Amino acid sequence: MSHVIARPLSRHRPASRLSLARMLGVWHQRRCLARLDAAQLADIGITPAEAARESARPFWDLD
């Protein structure tokens, strides 16, 4: 008789939660970036074109 030892699901959940939390954080940051005006973007050293390009990226694009 063979025995199958399953890995506990909790071993995989922290990584999934971390990835999901990171994706949500990136999504929120990109939405905030999209709402900044030209003067605010200039204060942080980003052009409106750079901000538009970054905020248009999908939330799963983390690199």
Decide if 24 is inside a domain. yes
Decide if 36 is inside a domain. yes
31: containing domain: 16-55
* Amino acid at the residue 35: R
Q: What is the pTM of this model?
A: 0.69
> pLDDT averaged over the chain?
84
- Residue 1: the pLDDT is 54
Decide if 41 is inside a domain. yes
pLDDT in tens, 8-37: 555 555 667 778 899 999 999 999 999 999
Which DSSP symbol is given to 25?
H
Cβ 51 vs Cβ 33: under 8 Å: yes
How many separate domains does the chain show?
1
Residue 47 confidence class, pLDDT cut points 50, 70, 90: very high
Decide if 62 is inside a domain. no
CB burial readout 42-62, b (16+ within 10 A) else e = eeeebeeeebeeebeeeeeee
Cβ 30 vs Cβ 55: under 8 Å: yes
d(CA 28, CA 20) in angstroms, rounded, equals 12
Decide if 4 is inside a domain. no
